[in-house]
């Protein structure tokens, strides 16, 4: 059961005033402004909670402006497909795509001047630091079976009929292409689950990990993140040094450790947005596919060293099912100018929410005699697509310790349940069964970071991996 009373993460200011015009703010507008300290706009798509991937035609386009006193408002109310809405760099227009027609459209923030721009799927928007011209990066040559685009082109918003090739070295996945402020690099999946950074235009790319929902920013040093298969953590990589660390993004009050989705960096790298919590067992155990009307939009602020999310603000409160948020913050910097320099995360920086690769757990083994106390839900291979493999977390009572040190009386164990699109013969387990397990800390196995991890219950116990 979700404790909704705990969802207002930042103490809610009933009325907030801005020194710029003394704007009176209430509710979510006040909460968001307290987090960002600047005028902020948020756009997202909304349905009935059954379409978290924004695949259908029963969606509307919604928005929130901290300074217009309108609260949550409808930008476009005609039910249709609005895929991956993106606020333009100036924050005055919204770009979106139609999955059915594979065509890109644009509309003013107030819902006026709706028009079609060009064929394709809008992957990213970008402002040229030389002249502030606004560009759209579009995916074309869609491969429906792989959910990828064979090439990426770009065009100026005011010249949509004049496009130029940006990338066709590899296929690109749709939710992941993020262009650097100088336009010379893009973070992305080339394709899923291969996360990395490409040199533009159309040079080479470097793989940095495996996951989904990549993003790229340069708060002095260029950082890439990618989202893990458990839908709970971001892995940050400092491009120049290779230093990497993990940041949980599901530690929102009231979420109880459940899954989140749609993580997106804003143009101001201090902030990110997510949706959540995902609490319903969807078809065959997939919580994100389960969606639900409890899914709302949240905005978070990173700590100065990007080792943790220091604070959260709740953007929506509608119980309608929200997806694909994008955020514009009036940071007062011209397009392309970098944010103030943060300190690089250090081993042990932040709280236990952050794990540096240099301080990751060593592979110290445990050998335990255990009894199964709670079996995790095994999803169907179809429900985890495009993943081909999945681990399921089971809870065991410790009967005796054969080797190694472990203090708690129970332990959480991630075990393979699906391999190559098939449920393994020994995946289904009966409560009460006993076994001898050889275990290592899950975080000591970076090769698992991009794999789908299914946890149908929440616990503060550390996670271990069953070594076979």
Of the pLDDT bands very low, low, confident and very high (cuts 50, 70, 90), residue 335 is very low
415 & 329 share domain = no
**Residue 339 pLDDT greater than 80, yes or no:** no
Is the pLDDT assigned to residue 344 strictly greater than 60? no
**CA-angle at 136, arms to 130 and 140, nearest 5°:** 140
Within a domain: residue 410?
A: yes
Q: Say whether both 96 and 182 belong to one domain.
A: yes
Cα dist. 128→331, 333, 337 in Å?
17, 13, 10
Q: How far is CA 407 from CA 183, 366, 371, 399, in A?
A: 51, 12, 16, 12
The pLDDT, as a whole number, for residue 352 is 32
Domain boundary among 313, 329, 351: 351
Q: What is the DSSP letter of 320?
A: S
Q: Do 373 and 449 reside in the same domain of the chain?
A: yes
Q: What tens digit of pLDDT does each residue of 402-436 get? A: 999 999 999 999 999 999 999 999 999 999 999 99
Same domain assignment for residues 442 and 300? no
Domain identity same for 153 and 47:
yes
Strands 223-227 and 233-238: antiparallel
Whether residue 42 is contained in a domain is answered as: yes
What's the CA gap between 209 and 225, in Å, rounded?
9
List pLDDT tens digits, range 202-256. 999 999 999 999 999 988 889 999 999 999 999 999 999 999 999 999 999 999 8
d(CA 145, CA 141): 12
* Whether residue 342 has pLDDT greater than 60: no
Domain of 388, CATH number, reads 2.40.50
Q: Based on the domain organization, do 429 and 453 belong to the same domain?
A: yes
Give residue 12's pLDDT: 40
pLDDT tens digits, 68-84: 999 999 999 999 999 99
Question: 461 and 336, same structural domain?
Answer: no
The verdict on 35 and 181 lying in the same domain is: yes
| 298 and 377 belong to one structural domain | no
Q: Domain ends where: 351, 381, 406?
A: 351
Q: How many residues in total does the chain contain?
A: 468
> Please, what sign has the CA dihedral across residues 446, 447, 449, 455?
negative
Q: Count of domains in the chain? A: 2
- For residue 205, the domain's CATH number is 2.120.10.30
For residues 400 and 345, state if they share a domain.
no
Looking at the structure, tell me whether residues 222 and 129 fall in a common domain: yes
C-beta neighbour count of 258 within 10 angstroms:
20
Q: Within a domain: residue 204? A: yes
Selected residue with higher pLDDT from 4 and 452: 452
Please say if the pLDDT value at position 353 is more than 80.
Answer: no
Domain boundary among 294, 327, 351: 351
Are the beta carbons of 166 and 154 closer than 8 angstroms? Answer: yes
pLDDT at position 16 over 50: no
H helix intervals, 306-432:
none
Q: Assess if residue 356 is contained within a domain.
A: no
What integer pLDDT is reported at residue 407 of this predicted model? 92
Looking from the CA of 3 toward its CB, the CA atoms found within 13 Å total: 9
User: Which residues constitute the domain of residue 99?
Assistant: 4-351
pLDDT tens digits for 308-327? 999 999 999 998 999 999 99
Q: What ranges make up the beta strands (E) of 159-222?
A: 163-167, 172-173, 178-179, 185-189, 194-199, 205-210, 212-217
346 and 415 co-located in one domain: no
């Amino acid at each position: 059961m979700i404790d909704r009373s705990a969802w207002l993460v930042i103490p809610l200011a009933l009325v907030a005033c801005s020194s710029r015009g003394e704007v009176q703010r209430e509710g979510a507008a006040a909460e968001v402004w307290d987090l960002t300290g600047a005028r902020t706009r948020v756009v997202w798509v909304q349905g009935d909670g059954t379409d978290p991937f924004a695949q259908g035609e029963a969606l509307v386009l919604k928005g929130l402006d901290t300074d217009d006193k309108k609260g949550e408002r409808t930008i476009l109310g005609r039910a249709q497909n609005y895929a991956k809405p993106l606020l333009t760099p100036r924050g005055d227009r919204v770009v979106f795509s139609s999955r059915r027609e594979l065509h890109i459209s644009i509309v003013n923030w107030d819902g006026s001047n709706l028009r079609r721009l060009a064929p394709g799927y809008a992957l990213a928007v970008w402002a040229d630091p030389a002249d502030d011209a606004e560009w759209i990066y579009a995916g074309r040559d869609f491969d429906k079976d792989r959910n990828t685009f064979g090439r990426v082109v770009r065009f100026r918003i005011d010249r949509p009929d004049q496009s130029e090739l940006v990338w066709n070295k590899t296929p690109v996945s749709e939710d992941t292409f993020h262009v650097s402020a100088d336009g010379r690099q893009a973070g992305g999946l080339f394709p899923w689950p291969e996360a990395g950074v490409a040199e533009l235009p159309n040079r080479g790319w470097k793989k940095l990990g495996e996951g989904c929902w990549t993003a790229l920013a340069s708060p002095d040093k260029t950082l890439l993140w990618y989202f893990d298969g458990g839908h709970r953590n971001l892995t940050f990589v400092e491009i120049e040094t290779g230093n990497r660390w993990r940041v949980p993004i599901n530690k929102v009050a009231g979420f109880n450790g459940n899954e989140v989705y749609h993580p997106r960096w804003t143009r101001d790298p201090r902030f990110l947005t997510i949706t959540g919590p995902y609490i319903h067992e969807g078809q065959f155990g997939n919580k994100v596919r389960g969606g639900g009307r409890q899914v709302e939009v949240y905005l978070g602020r990173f700590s100065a060293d990007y080792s943790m999310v220091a604070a959260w603000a709740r953007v929506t409160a509608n119980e309608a099912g929200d997806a694909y948020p994008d955020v514009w913050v009036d940071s007062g910097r011209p397009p392309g100018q970098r944010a103030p320099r943060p300190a690089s995360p250090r081993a042990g920086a932040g709280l236990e929410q952050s794990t540096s690769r240099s301080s990751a757990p060593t592979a110290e083994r445990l050998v335990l005699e255990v009894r199964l106390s709670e079996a995790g839900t095994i999803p169907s291979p179809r429900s985890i697509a495009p993943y081909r493999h999945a681990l399921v977390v089971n809870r065991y009572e410790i009967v005796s310790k054969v080797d190694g040190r472990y203090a708690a009386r129970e332990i959480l164990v991630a075990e393979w349940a699906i391999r190559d699109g098939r449920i393994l013969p020994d995946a289904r387990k009966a409560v009460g069964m006993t076994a001898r397990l050889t275990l290592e800390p899950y975080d000591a196995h970076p090769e698992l970071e991009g794999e789908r991890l299914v946890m149908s219950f929440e616990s503060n116990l550390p996670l271990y991996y069953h070594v076979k």
